[in-house]
Amino acid sequence: MMIGVKGIPYRRPEWVVWRFWKDADGVTDDAKDSGRFWDRSEAVAEANRRNDANTDPAVWYEVIESEATGVYPADEKPPWVPDPGRLRRRGYERPD
- Rounded distance, CA 72 to CA 32, Å? 27
pTM: 0.75
Nearest to 75 by CA among 9, 7, 2, 1: 7
User: What order of strands is seen across the sheet that includes strand 7-22?
Assistant: 28-37, 7-22, 59-73
Q: Where is 21: in which H helix or E strand? A: strand 7-22
Q: What is the largest CA-CA distance in the chain?
A: 63
Local confidence pLDDT in tens for the 96 residues of the chain = 456 779 999 999 999 999 999 988 989 988 999 999 999 999 999 999 999 999 999 999 999 999 999 999 898 889 888 888 887 877 776 666
- Interatomic CA distance for residues 84 and 44, integer angstroms: 23
- For residue 58, the model assigns a pLDDT of 93
